Amino acid sequence: MIWTSRWPGWRGIVVVTAAVFVLDSEPVRAEGWPTVPDELFTALGLTRDVSASDLYAAVAARYYDQAKGYGEGKFSEMWEPTALARYLDPGLYQGREALDFEVTSADCATCHETVTPGWVHAANRSVHADLQALRALPADDPRAYKVEHLDEVEANLRTMGKLAEGEVLAEVACADCHMGVGVKAGNHKTDLRLPDGAACGQCHVRQFSERESERDTLTWPQDQWPAGRPSHALSMIANYETAIWAGMAEREVAEGCTMCHTTQTSCNQCHTRHEFSAAQARKPEMCANCHNGVDHNEFENYMMSRHGLIYQTNGDNWNWEAPLSEAFASAGYNAPTCQTCHMSVNGEYSHNLVQKVRWGFNPMPSIAENLDHPWFQARKELWVATCTQCHAPSFATSYLDMMDQGTIQGIGLVQEADAVVKKLYEDGLLVGQADNRPAPPAPDADTHGGFFGLFWTKGNNPSAVEHEYAQMWEQEIMRHFKGLAHVNPGGFTYSYGWSELIGSLARIRDEDTRLREGAALEKRIEALEAAGGD
């Protein structure tokens, strides 16, 4: 039979030959997957007894919906994808003319052993390469849980009609991911794709649905952020729809943002291709690829916390092959990792990492003012439950209260700086404001200390005082909060947080005084000159 698929971002329809089987057994249903939140089913108009096939179809349809976050976003006319961008976002990928030839699945490894041997070596180390070896694992092997996982994958594929009744998978071949499940041959230029989240989701329906449910479980009660953000599920559209990212001419610099926002477009930011090691993805270093730096230094704060120090000194003795659900029970963990904290909700582990989010990515007054709202309080209780895997509830509550109050105090410094810089802007007193302040590139608009000022400059825009303020609200307050949230005392006091905020505010106050004294002196000179007739 012929399996036809239109992959978003491709030109035309790709037709490949694959077997399609008639389903004989009862289809797999999602009611056995409690880690997929109720909110996803509600958002998609489904009930929990939906089949895996229908659930995948609904989740994938939304994933590819241009109106719901897929594609290049509302500023697409402002920028053109670079060659690298077409690799970072599978929807933008274009096959090369030099690859216009037919290949079979068996050809892939033979050719790439010479062309890109690293890919082949990684793939050969993966579970995908030899599923029979996986099935042969003894029950006491920590990886034995993957046998049950494989059974789930095969049941999903049977439900979808992609695997015959009673048939088992021997391997996951290159073409299964790069052309389609069950595909044996195709044209390297026109049929080959870069796998996106939905491609992985055909086999891993539960995990794909968990990740995509981030859109549904993060709905801010006072609209502090757009629904479903900030999250991994909508990370790329958040990048594409940042005005200065779309408008800046330096596209090569802009791609630095894109490289970390690919969690929406693929799964390999965490599950590195082509090995896709679960053990690797359980280690904090995997999160560090994105969660580091001046405005989101979670990894640095974690590693300098007591939690991180225990991980660094004891982690070699932990069993990374065991599932996260066994981390504290039998895998030897005696401190949390990024994964054990952020993937757990009420004792269950899920690919939805935002069900406990309270402060979002950037602490804002509109969040600080509403922390007593039931939505925030319920999430605080979820955090207490997570912390009590190691701590007493009273200790966990006291630390979360301290984190909240310390963050609120930091926000207060940013608000004071905002008032000073905003008044300078309104009074026209910023350096060069009257005659040397070009507007930022469209679609952005000028404002005092805007985000564009960290990535674009022309004339006296931004002025030095605005750049200082932008660092406060976009970098220093976040580092302050991240230090508090990840229990790194240096991170929120001397090194990156409170002390840095104080220093920036002091320099802003000094500049305010200097500019206002200078403006007053100019007026006095003008008045004296007018009075003297000169």
Residues 6+ apart with CB under 8 A from 75: 240, 241, 243, 246, 247, 443
pLDDT of 534: 57
Query: Do 365-532 and 2-231 have the same topology in CATH?
Result: no
> What fold characterizes domain 365-532?
Hydroxylamine Oxidoreductase; Chain A, domain 2 (1.20.850)
Number of H helices, E strands in the chain: 26, 6
* CA 435 to each of CA 176, 358, 424, 438, 520: distance values in angstroms, whole numbers, following the listed order: 60, 43, 15, 9, 19
Query: Domain-by-domain residue ranges, the chain?
Result: 2-231, 365-532
Instruction: Give, for all 534 residues of the chain, the pLDDT tens digit.
Output: 233 333 333 333 333 334 555 455 678 899 999 999 999 999 999 999 999 999 999 999 999 999 999 999 999 999 999 999 999 999 999 999 999 999 998 899 899 999 999 999 999 999 999 999 999 999 999 999 999 999 999 999 999 999 999 999 999 999 999 999 999 999 999 999 999 999 999 999 999 999 999 999 999 999 999 999 999 999 999 999 999 999 999 999 999 999 999 999 999 999 999 999 999 999 999 999 999 999 999 999 999 999 999 999 999 999 999 999 999 999 999 999 999 999 999 999 999 999 999 999 899 999 999 999 999 999 999 999 999 999 999 999 999 999 999 999 999 999 999 999 999 999 999 999 999 999 999 999 999 999 999 999 999 999 999 999 999 999 999 999 999 999 999 999 999 999 999 999 999 999 999 999 999 999 999 999 999 865
Residues 6+ apart with CB under 8 A from 479: 294, 295, 297, 491, 492, 496, 497, 500
Determine the distance from the C-alpha atom of residue 138 to the mean position of all C-alpha atoms in its chain, rounded to a whole number.
Answer: 36
pLDDT of 13: 33
Query: Following DSSP, what letter does each residue of 148-198 receive, concatenated?
Result: HHHHHHHHHHHHTTSS-TT---S---HHHHHT-TT--EEETTTT-----HH
Instruction: Say how far apart CA 429 and CA 507 lie, in whole Å.
Output: 16
Instruction: Say how far apart CA 273 and CA 256 lie, in whole Å.
Output: 20
Instruction: Say how far apart CA 51 and CA 133 lie, in whole Å.
Output: 29
- Of 16, 10, 11, nearest to 180 (Cα)? 16
pLDDT of 233: 98
Contact call for residues 238 and 230 (beta carbons, < 8 A): yes
- Which numeric CATH code is attached to 2-231? 1.10.780.10
